[in-house]
Amino acid sequence: MDIHSFTVYDMLKKNCRLFENATALVSGDVRITFGELLRGVQSLSGSLSIQGVNKGDRIAILAQNNHNFFLLLGAAAAMGAIIVPVNWRLSIDEIQYILQDSAPSTIFFDENFKNVISQLRAKCDSLKKYFVFGQSEDDYISFTELMGNYPAKEAEIKGNDPYIIIYTAAIQGQPRGAILSQDNVIFCNIQVASMMGLSSNDTYLNFLPFFHVAGIVIPFSVMHLGGRNVIMAKFDPKAVAGKIEKERVTIITTFPPVLRQIMAEISKGTYDLSSLKYAFGFLESSDTIADFEKKTGCQFWVGYGQTETTGVTCLGLKSEKPGSAGKQGTLVNIKIVDEYGRDLETGEKGEILVRSPIVFHGYWRQEELTRWTFRDGWHHTGDMGYLDNEGYLWYVGRKAEKELIKPGGENVYPVEVEKVILEHPGVNEVTVIGVPDPKFGEGIKAVCVLRPNVRLSEQELIDFVAARIARYKKPGYVSFVDSLPKKEDGSIDREKVKALYGHN
Amino acid sequence: MDIHSFTVYDMLKKNCRLFENATALVSGDVRITFGELLRGVQSLSGSLSIQGVNKGDRIAILAQNNHNFFLLLGAAAAMGAIIVPVNWRLSIDEIQYILQDSAPSTIFFDENFKNVISQLRAKCDSLKKYFVFGQSEDDYISFTELMGNYPAKEAEIKGNDPYIIIYTAAIQGQPRGAILSQDNVIFCNIQVASMMGLSSNDTYLNFLPFFHVAGIVIPFSVMHLGGRNVIMAKFDPKAVAGKIEKERVTIITTFPPVLRQIMAEISKGTYDLSSLKYAFGFLESSDTIADFEKKTGCQFWVGYGQTETTGVTCLGLKSEKPGSAGKQGTLVNIKIVDEYGRDLETGEKGEILVRSPIVFHGYWRQEELTRWTFRDGWHHTGDMGYLDNEGYLWYVGRKAEKELIKPGGENVYPVEVEKVILEHPGVNEVTVIGVPDPKFGEGIKAVCVLRPNVRLSEQELIDFVAARIARYKKPGYVSFVDSLPKKEDGSIDREKVKALYGHN
């Protein structure tokens, strides 16, 4: 192993040494110590290896939350396999797309999803082994048969090898698999711990699904410091309040509908929630948070993040600046740019860019999209926001759906063509749009406003672009106009440009 | 820049954004905010570049602590230069060796050291520019002339590029330059922060010299979180107590003679030290620590580390397990092996091995030694210890082949003192060992066999050594004996020497 490495598997070994007999996981009546967790992980890595799982293989999981998820994450960390947690709320077509795209060799699933698997297996060539959380049946092997006392399978791992693929926001109608590495997870853990002050005395209650990054990142941080994770199969407000009381939970993560439902339950006043130190949430309303803090006495952390940044980019106590998304993490570079990548000043709205050890490792099998997303050495989040004069981030919303033109199946982003055209000294403004094209299906059109007294032919402009970027990105069509339609804030109204000039 | 990078320069930019008007540095009457620090660092990087300093160049510093050290560390981080802080307590020959070995293009020094520089410059071909903390004179340019309003020089940096070279314990009579990278510093910061719970409310008092890793690691961690650093040129117990009171200091780092001297001062009872939350120290006696905790109400952190692990490998509250060196850090793999590299069981003594993002990047220009030290994918510390059944590390001592005496936190290899003593014409044989010392924790004792008919006093021998190497390396104790115990192979039996003469 690289002498500078510290993997998720190393974290589990550390915890076994430091907290062997302390509880790591609670799931219903099952209680698993850090010693049992490590030994389970080691044995599972060994039996998965016997089942033919190799380094780099994908292991899909289609299941509600259960403690075996942590065993699989640990075994994958040891042997260098890649976990693909699948959102079971998706339609069967969407699940099929994810399985075909990630091409797992192995899948773990709840008994409930047997029908889904039976329908999909013929269409997913990569699948060779099927493990069910339940009874064995035909070639569906029970998970319990994998558990035993096998010698660990430990592979040579690099910190930036793929570790988890989480499918996230759809582009062009298909979700993309964001690749997280073990380094991403480890550095995010330690960043969160350094900001929230986590310790081995913390207990986290898992009710958010493990197939979202928000369901993984804080639990992992708590585990890294030696704290406990209490697992619920899925969200149920009554059970949540009961678990907080019973297990003396110190931290939860919430999302808007969840927090209000918990509030409604605890308003009945029959729970002792005094153990709760922190709640953590995105996109909650300030009033709901204030109510919750008052009722429970806990402190509310807010933040900004996305799957592509291992879940946490900014973090802060809500009380510091209500409405903001906190401050950049202790390992995070952040900046705000306009659509041409130019740095914006404090207070100006633009796209949020991130550079950090917690930035993901690209989209699975989408090299071009990854290069585009990582252009200029920064991760382009596609989210809009601004920084105030104390460094707090204010989240504004998603960037208008990423424009894409597809001439002859190539991907061309209008903004990269616009950037080149604006380098021409004669051009004052430009908008590039897709238009129907008899040859390529879609063609590239530049709608330009020239500076006063400039004379420029269409062909001269096309040649100027062709000399500077890939030839297939040059406009096939050029219109010179007197002015471009604007929005109230002064920016160009791209939709109106399309409506006015969207013909070839 | 690599999309996963977060450098020391990024940390300074983050702090400028989040804490622009908060105090970063206090040095005498000088107070520098994080905004001023960043702007100073940027301007300094620009003027150093104009002076011909390039990426990868070494910048030596021969000076007592001052706030400009942080400016130089920041500028080096931005431009990819390498800082070599030189121990000014060394003899001129030792300083010459370090300058010749590290081959800096530029040196910064205190006015006090002008004579040293004038004597050495002809022997150090690499040196091209000389900057003095004081008045300009001939080609010694005042540091203040570098400060102005220059545009920053920002280089493309990799996280594992060399950043600081600290010369540490001598082997075969010569010190070795341990290379620390910006990743080492950043990950050590965040690890320490996650374990000690540092925040922007902390204030660290710097009185340990910046040329030791212990003088850099905690200050940097405090700075990373937005806390303050108060700088003293050097240790002075009375001034320390006064500074803690005046600046409401929350953290200090100590070494054996230092803590007792502070204790003696504060026992006078005229100081308000209620701000002090934490003291951090290596090799302190449990009784002294208990006294100190009682007197100040602070908590004492103990640890184990070395320059080669960016200073902190293990850490823990002394109260958890008095006498131990705490537990492995949140980013640290540690194991104990026998002399053949075989893993030892809990409780068995052997060499301490480390694998972690905080492991250094090898010895400067010592590839073979680096390969040997990093064999089997682990850093071989040369320190002996064992892990107990709760994961606490117990430090036992230096490995025989790498004996080390630590008088007052300095590193002294017996072999380098023995080498000098053997230069005395009257000495036939000698073994140098560490013995208990009331003032320095550990003292240096020379056990000598003189040649026939030679008369030599203890003091004469001590003076002989003091004239040839750093004064702190001279023996405090000398015994003349008729013969030294030998092993079967005829070599001196160091262990038997210790058993027979290991008292002061």
Sequential DSSP letters for A69-137: HHHHHHHHHHHT-EEEE--TTS-HHHHHHHHHHH--SEEEEEGGGHHHHHHHGGG-TT--EEEEES--B
Give, in words, the CATH class of A320-398. mainly beta
Do B6 and A328 make contact, defined as CB atoms within 8 angstroms? no
State the pLDDT at residue B269: 77
Per-residue model confidence as pLDDT tens digits over A299-320: 999 999 999 999 999 999 998 9
CA nearest neighbour of B336 among B326, B349, B317: B349
State the pLDDT at residue B260: 86
Going by DSSP bridges, is the β-strand pair B477-480/B350-355 parallel, antiparallel, or unpaired? Answer: unpaired
Return the number of other C-beta atoms located less than 10 Å from residue B184's C-beta. Answer: 29
State the pLDDT at residue B401: 60
User: Structure pTM?
Assistant: 0.86
Per-residue model confidence as pLDDT tens digits over B67-107: 999 999 999 999 999 999 999 999 999 999 999 999 999 99
Q: What is the nearest CA distance from B240 to chain A, expressed in angstroms? A: 28
Q: What is the nearest CA distance from A406 to chain B, expressed in angstroms? A: 27
Return the number of other C-beta atoms located less than 10 Å from residue B288's C-beta. Answer: 17
Q: Is the dihedral of CA B104, B105, B108, B113 positive or negative?
A: positive
Do A330 and B225 make contact, defined as CB atoms within 8 angstroms? yes
Does residue B180 surpass a pLDDT of 90? Answer: yes
DSSP codes joined into one string, B247-304 = HT--EEEE-HHHHHHHHHHHTT-----TT--EEEESS--HHHHHHHHHHH--EEEEEE
Residue B78 forms beta bridges with which residues? none
Does residue B283 surpass a pLDDT of 80? Answer: no
Best residue in A330, A379, A381, A388 to probe B by mutation, most B CBs within 10 Å? A330
Q: What 3-state DSSP class applies to B146?
A: helix
Determine which of A8-22, A228-242, A400-414, B192-206 has the lowest per-residue pLDDT on average: A400-414
Place of tokens 């690289």: A2
Give A-chain residues touching B225 at CB under 8 angstroms.
194, 330
State the pLDDT at residue A441: 80
Under 8 Å between Cβ of A379 and B3: yes
Do A3 and B377 make contact, defined as CB atoms within 8 angstroms? yes
Higher pLDDT: A438 or A347? It is A347
> Residue A152 class from Cβ within 10 Å (0-12 exposed, 13-18 middle, 19+ buried)?
middle
Does residue A108 surpass a pLDDT of 60? Answer: yes
Q: What is the nearest CA distance from A360 to chain B, expressed in angstroms? A: 8
Do B18 and A391 make contact, defined as CB atoms within 8 angstroms? yes
Domains B299-401 and B405-501 share a fold: no
Q: What 3-state DSSP class applies to A428?
A: strand
Helix H or strand E segment including B193: helix B182-196
CATH 3.40.50.980 assigned to domain A28-158? The reply is yes
Which residue in chain B is spatially nearest to A359 when comparing CA positions? B4
Do A17 and B328 make contact, defined as CB atoms within 8 angstroms? yes
Higher pLDDT: B495 or B356? It is B356
User: What confidence tier does A401 reach under pLDDT thresholds 50, 70, 90?
Assistant: low
Residue A47 CA from chain centroid, whole number: 30
Cβ-based contacts under 8 A for chains A and B: 106
Quote the ipTM score: 0.85
Question: Rounded CA gap, B112 and B315, in Å?
Answer: 37
State the pLDDT at residue B170: 65
Question: Rounded CA gap, B122 and B120, in Å?
Answer: 6
Does residue B491 surpass a pLDDT of 90? Answer: no
Question: Rounded CA gap, A462 and A460, in Å?
Answer: 6
Question: Rounded CA gap, B245 and B275, in Å?
Answer: 7
Per-residue model confidence as pLDDT tens digits over B290-312: 888 988 899 999 999 999 999 99
CA nearest neighbour of A218 among A187, A245, A181, A193: A193
Which residue in chain B is spatially nearest to A19 when comparing CA positions? B390
Do A193 and B330 make contact, defined as CB atoms within 8 angstroms? yes
Question: Rounded CA gap, A237 and A262, in Å?
Answer: 5
State the pLDDT at residue B402: 62
Under 8 Å between Cβ of B307 and B363: no
Residue B357 DSSP label: T
Which residues of B lie closer than 8 Å to A, measured between beta carbons? 1-6, 10, 13-14, 17-18, 160, 183, 186-187, 190-191, 193-194, 197-198, 224-225, 327-328, 330-333, 355-357, 359, 374, 377-379, 387, 390-391
Select from 3.40.50.720, 3.30.200.20, 3.40.50.1820, 2.30.38.10 the CATH code of B299-401: 2.30.38.10
Nearest to A331 among B2, B6, B17 (CB): B6
Which residues of A lie closer than 8 Å to B, measured between beta carbons? 1-6, 10, 13-14, 17-19, 160, 183, 186-187, 190-191, 193-194, 197-198, 224-225, 327-328, 330-333, 355-357, 359, 374, 377-379, 387, 390-391
Phi then psi for residue A327, to 5 deg, are -110, 160
CA nearest neighbour of A350 among A169, A171, A491: A491
The rounded radius of gyration (Å) of the Cα atoms in chain A is 25
Residue B412 DSSP label: B
Best residue in B33, B179, B181, B194 to probe A by mutation, most A CBs within 10 Å? B194
Nearest to A356 among B6, B191, B355 (CB): B6
Going by DSSP bridges, is the β-strand pair A350-355/B393-398 parallel, antiparallel, or unpaired? Answer: unpaired
Give B-chain residues touching A378 at CB under 8 angstroms.
3
- A82 residue type, one letter: I
Residue A205 forms beta bridges with which residues? A230
DSSP codes joined into one string, A287-354 = HHHHHHHHHH-PEEEEEE--GGGTT-SEEEEGGGSTTS--EE-TT-EEEEE-TTSPBPPTT--EEEEE
Under 8 Å between Cβ of A323 and A339: no
Q: What is the nearest CA distance from A228 to chain B, expressed in angstroms? A: 16
Does residue B190 surpass a pLDDT of 80? Answer: yes
Do B225 and A2 make contact, defined as CB atoms within 8 angstroms? no
Question: Rounded CA gap, A101 and A124, in Å?
Answer: 9
CA nearest neighbour of A413 among A382, A451, A388, A459: A382
Going by DSSP bridges, is the β-strand pair A393-398/A379-387 parallel, antiparallel, or unpaired? Answer: antiparallel
State the pLDDT at residue A266: 87
The token pair that represents B173 in the structure block: 């009579």
Do B374 and A197 make contact, defined as CB atoms within 8 angstroms? no
Do A3 and B224 make contact, defined as CB atoms within 8 angstroms? no
Q: What is the nearest CA distance from B68 to chain A, expressed in angstroms? A: 24
Which residue in chain A is spatially nearest to B225 when comparing CA positions? A330
Phi then psi for residue B358, to 5 deg, are -95, 0
State the pLDDT at residue B429: 92
The token pair that represents B409 in the structure block: 């936190």
Place of tokens 């033109």: A405
Question: Rounded CA gap, A276 and A274, in Å?
Answer: 5
CA nearest neighbour of A217 among A251, A250, A175, A170: A251
Best residue in A2, A6, A189 to probe B by mutation, most B CBs within 10 Å? A6
CA nearest neighbour of A244 among A294, A193, A203, A281: A203
> Residue A138 class from Cβ within 10 Å (0-12 exposed, 13-18 middle, 19+ buried)?
exposed
- B335 residue type, one letter: K
Best residue in B331, B343, B344, B389 to probe A by mutation, most A CBs within 10 Å? B331
Which residue in chain B is spatially nearest to A200 when comparing CA positions? B195
DSSP codes joined into one string, A2-43 = -TT---HHHHHHHHHHHHTTSEEEEETTEEEEHHHHHHHHHH
Which residue in chain A is spatially nearest to B309 when comparing CA positions? A4
Do B4 and A356 make contact, defined as CB atoms within 8 angstroms? yes
The stretch A162-172 carries a mean pLDDT of: 83
Question: Rounded CA gap, B303 and B308, in Å?
Answer: 15
Question: Rounded CA gap, B108 and B435, in Å?
Answer: 37
The stretch A50-76 carries a mean pLDDT of: 97
Question: Rounded CA gap, A52 and A26, in Å?
Answer: 30
The token pair that represents B465 in the structure block: 């050594």
Does residue A404 surpass a pLDDT of 70? Answer: yes
Question: Rounded CA gap, A421 and B373, in Å?
Answer: 56
Q: What is the nearest CA distance from A109 to chain B, expressed in angstroms? A: 33
Does residue A99 surpass a pLDDT of 60? Answer: yes
Does residue B397 surpass a pLDDT of 90? Answer: no
Domain boundaries, chain B: 299-401, 405-501
The stretch B274-293 carries a mean pLDDT of: 87
The token pair that represents A398 in the structure block: 């998603």
Do A14 and B328 make contact, defined as CB atoms within 8 angstroms? yes
Does residue A228 surpass a pLDDT of 90? Answer: yes
Do A357 and B17 make contact, defined as CB atoms within 8 angstroms? no
Determine which of A352-366, B110-124, B335-349, B390-404 has the lowest per-residue pLDDT on average: B390-404
Nearest to B359 among A3, A190, A391 (CB): A3
Question: Rounded CA gap, A24 and A14, in Å?
Answer: 13
Under 8 Å between Cβ of B336 and B349: yes
Place of tokens 């008292």: B503
Q: What is the CATH number of domain A407-501?
A: 3.30.300.30
Return the number of other C-beta atoms located less than 10 Å from residue B64's C-beta. Answer: 17
CATH 3.30.300.30 assigned to domain B405-501? The reply is yes
Residue A417 DSSP label: H
Which residue in chain A is spatially nearest to B18 when comparing CA positions? A391
CA distances from A485 to A430, A490, A495, B63, B189 (A): 11, 9, 9, 63, 51
Under 8 Å between Cβ of A236 and A242: no
